[in-house]
Amino acid sequence: MSQDDAILLRHILVAIEQIERYTRGMSESEFLSRPMVQDAVIRQIEVIAEAANCISVIYQGEHPKLMWSNMINLRKRIIPENFRVNLDKVWNIVQDDLPLHKQAIKKLL
């Protein structure tokens, strides 16, 4: 693993952990009623997607079980071309996708 890839993986892990802190103990309805939390979570999802996109192709190829395209496309999934954020998708990503990404990344670091 190159030093750059390791740094990017740590950025992804930190962003996931930030989202966990922002949403800890929160229900979906509470999340949907708190715009500042939504904005913070969306920002960290953007960080995750951008960092994943910058991981070297070689490293991605060496670890194909990690859902790279899923991580890279997180931003596109929540912010489509019309720029209307889909908060239901954001919540589903927080609950379903990010725990899996976190577990996989921890194994790599």
* pLDDT surpasses 80 at 82: no
- pLDDT confidence band for 77 (50 / 70 / 90): confident
What's the pLDDT tens digit per position in 3-35? 899 999 999 999 999 999 999 999 999 999 999
Which active-site residues does the annotation give? 75
Evaluate whether 8 touches 48 at the Cβ level (below 8 Å): no
Closest by CA to 75, choosing from 55, 46, 100, is: 46
What's the pLDDT tens digit per position in 87-102? 999 999 999 999 999 9
Whole-structure pTM value: 0.91
% residues pLDDT > 90 (the chain): 79
